[in-house]
Amino acid sequence: MYGNSNQPIIVLKEGTQRSKDKEAQFNNIDAAKAVADAVRSTLGPKGMDKMMVNTIGDVVITNDGVTILKEIDVQHPAAKMVVEVAKTQDTECGDGTTTSVVLAGELLKQSEDLINANVHPTVITNGFNMAAEKAVKILEDISVDAKNDKMLRIVADTSLTGKAVGENSDKEHLSELIVKAAKSVADEKGKVDTKDIRISKKVGGVIRDTYLVQGVVIDKELVHSRMPKKMEKAKIALFNCPLEVKKTEIDAQIQITDPARMNAFLAEEEASMKRMVDAIVATGANVVFCTKGVDELVQHYLAKAGVMGYRRLKESDLEAIAKATGATISGNPLEITKKELGSAGCVEERLVGEDGMAFITGCKNPKAVTVFVRGGTEHVIEEIERALNDAIRTVGVTLEDGKVVAGAGAPEVELSIRLSKYASSVGGREQLAIEKFAKAMETVPWTLAENAGLDPIDVIIRMKNAHARKNGEYFGVDLDTGEAMNALSKNIIEPLRVKTQAVNSATEVANMILRIDDVIAARRAPPTPPQGAGPGAGMDGMPPM
């Protein structure tokens, strides 16, 4: 609609909301800070847990940053961008999700002062990029080599610290399992595919009852009660097709008029299933795993031949067994050969609690292993599973990169000190942004101290004084005393990639949010009324009488 020079031109649809310039920037910054504040109290070994209850009443209790952010139904688009940072950090490193989100929130908080001082967002983002690039070089400079088993165990132990994994002895036990599992599936370059380390869990026992299976555990029971419960020197056949009479792909109907023909038809059906079992047994297979159904007659013949059988496995289960045993997945039982069979020292059905589970163990050089988790309650073992996933990933990236840095806030304080010196050498307005970036790095030790009930100001001062000494770059905060201590000698270390990824991803999301100066939000569509309950409808959606 057009009017005279004093009347605005209406371009956007009615109901559209628009915020511009500083209003838009501060709205986005506030939303991102709110997400960071939601997980800030979970950071570090003294961090608190969060309880989340979804719409159907399921409860999740955790202090894992990415799990919390996935469970929260975030609506604001800028806040969703910060949640993506945690997801990326989790995918790349497995740990450091809370750190990356807290850093992103603090970078945006520090940038508010610069925006109020009319420093252009482009200048701020340029300064942040320069600081992030320098920070990665500093982190590489203060990193140390770590490829022996002891260092890997310390990395796992540090990752598990603060998670609900019980006493120190439990952590040591789990760390040992994690390193063994990671080294079992690592390739020549040290790369660990975490999909090859399966985590199977069952309520019961205590955390210390968790153990490593050099093979695969499948939560399935034998298809027939007369099948053997244990098979030594197992020869394993894998099928991703049903072991039953093949049905036609199109709807078909068979009409039989002669009773004798009916008997012949049934006899042929039975004979075809017998041939199927004979073909499997002829290869020497004594254990069968199948992703589809197994006909009752096939079950009978398998049991008669002394073959163990399992059905309706997940595709991922079948692939894991193939990796562990060296078997090839077959699509036709009549064409299977001896070369396609896998081998294992033992396949056994064990009773765990009230349920039977298949344990495939004694595999030679398995490329898939299983950590079998035990714990007192469902919530405990779920949190242990999350902790193990994080620790396995951190050990994996350490094996791959061979570099670690000190933990306990030590790298962040060193970054803060060195970046402050670097800022003065840069000059220009970017110097202001680099100084703010350096200040933002202090948020990690600050939050660690805060969550431990210590005075953050005193802690930062002590750490900065310690970093002025020789080898001071390894000094972090002792959360029991509040004093500075050498984190390397206290066995608190983290993979280098966790820190570099956190710095880079936090910088990227902060820059993206800072560069938004206009938010145009379309009016939300009204909720769809129930069918038949439109205007004028009466009871049960019927029109009024």
Distance CA 299, CA 225 (A): 10
Q: C-alpha distances in angstroms, 394 versus 165, 196, 433, 495?
A: 17, 15, 31, 6
- The amino acid sitting at 404 is V
- Asked whether the beta carbons of 280 and 256 are under 8 A apart, the reply is no
Distance CA 264, CA 270 (A): 10
Tell which residue, 157, 178, 153, 165, has the closest CA to residue 62: 165
Of 42, 62, 98, 125, which residue is the catalytic one? 98
For 385, which DSSP code?
H
- Asked whether the beta carbons of 491 and 157 are under 8 A apart, the reply is yes
Instruction: Examine the residue annotation and report whether 283 is marked as an active-site residue of this protein.
Output: no
Of 390, 394, 398, 507, which residue is the catalytic one? 390
3-class SS string, 180-239:
HHHHHHCCCCCCCCHHHEEEEEEEECCHHHCEEECCEEECCCCCCCCCCCEEEEEEEEEE
Q: Is the dihedral of CA 243, 248, 252, 253 positive or negative?
A: negative
Which residue reads 């023909």 in tokens? Answer: 261
Instruction: Examine the residue annotation and report whether 97 is marked as an active-site residue of this protein.
Output: yes
Look at the chain and count its residues. 545
Of 42, 62, 67, 97, which residue is the catalytic one? 97
Of 42, 62, 64, 478, which residue is the catalytic one? 64
Q: List CB contacts of 335: < 8 A, sequence separation 6 or more.
A: 279
Q: 139: buried, middle or exposed (CB in 10 Å: 19+, 13-18, 0-12)?
A: buried
Q: Measured in Å, how far apart are the chain's first and last C-alpha atoms?
A: 44
Distance CA 421, CA 433 (A): 13
Longest dimension (CA), the chain: 100
Tell which residue, 454, 463, 503, 459, has the closest CA to residue 486: 463
Instruction: Examine the residue annotation and report whether 98 is marked as an active-site residue of this protein.
Output: yes
Distance CA 543, CA 545 (A): 6
Distance CA 487, CA 368 (A): 34
- The amino acid sitting at 320 is A
Tell which residue, 475, 499, 505, has the closest CA to residue 401: 499
3-state secondary structure of 460: helix
Catalytic positions, please?
64, 97-98, 390
